[in-house]
Copies of this chain bind each other. A is one copy, B any other.
Amino acid sequence: MKSKHIPRATIQRLAVYLQVLEALHGEGVEVISSEALARACEVNPSQIRKDLAYFGEFGVRGVGYYVPNLIDSIKVSLGTDRIWRVALIGVGNLGRSLLRYQGFPKRGFKVVAAFDCDPFKIGEEIAGLEVMCPRRMKENVKDLSIEIGIITTPTDRAQRAANYLVESNIPSILNFSAARIHVPNHVHVEYVDFFHHLYALTFKLNAGEFQGHDSSPN
């Protein structure tokens, strides 16, 4: 069930299904057909059926999916049926706004430590966390069971931040900086770069212009 071979694109779609299902459940929807779910998620129904079949959810013929059960199944599959403990390194604008972000627990995450090498920031308290020196990361995270490190440093400090996380035995990294980072094979890295999404837009805008697309509303 927890196969490593579920394609990455499926995982991303599961995250979208989860988001839409939670919104629907909040509106009181208890049962949904794959067609209605597909419309709400903007994918085609056969895609949803295929994705959900990966982890054994087939729905009930002629009825659809039970929304609360489906939410639970997807959470188990994504690993967000529990709370993951997170450390953040790099307390600039982005780091601060993430530390203050209230949406983590609802989605299965808790930021339990914050680091920055700037002596003016060390000791500062943000959202209940005291900013610590990354040189003291290893000793400080030992008892915190941290499994994910978030890098929000400037580009030229990202590799050093990654080294601190690796030395502290934190097994996975979410990198918001623009730098590509190098880590041992056993450490998982994900890159967050919203410019990739901007490029997807400009690519389409470009293609539209090229084909004489009229962007006026109709």
A residues at B contact (CB < 8 Å): 2-4, 6, 8-9, 11-12, 14-16, 19-20, 23, 40-42, 77-80, 84, 93-94, 96-97, 100-101, 103, 107-109, 147-148, 166-167, 169, 171-174, 176, 178-180, 184, 186, 188, 190-208, 210-211, 213, 215-218
Contact = CB atoms under 8 A, between A and B. Distances in A.
A172 B208 CA distance: 11
Contacts of A180: 19-20, 23, 40-42
The 10 closest A-B pairs by CB, nearest first: A79-B202, A79-B206, A93-B97, A190-B197, A171-B215, A172-B201, A15-B196, A2-B210, A78-B199, A4-B207
B78 A203 contact: yes
Contacts of A77: 203
Nearest to A78: B199
Name the residue in A148, A178, A193, A196 with the highest tally of chain B Cβ atoms < 10 Å from its Cβ: A196
A71 to B, nearest CB: 14
A173 B197 CA distance: 10
A42 to B, nearest CB: 8
Contacts of A197: 174, 190-192
Contact of A203 (B19, B79, B147, B191): B79
A128 B211 CA distance: 36
Given A166-B217, A192-B194, A78 B202 contact: yes
A188 B204 contact: yes
A159 B125 CA distance: 34
A100 B93 contact: yes
Contacts of A148: 198, 201-202, 205
A196 B194 CA distance: 12
Given A202-B84, A217-B169, A195 B15 contact: yes
A73 to B, nearest CB: 13
Contacts of A215: 169, 171, 186
Contacts of A167: 217
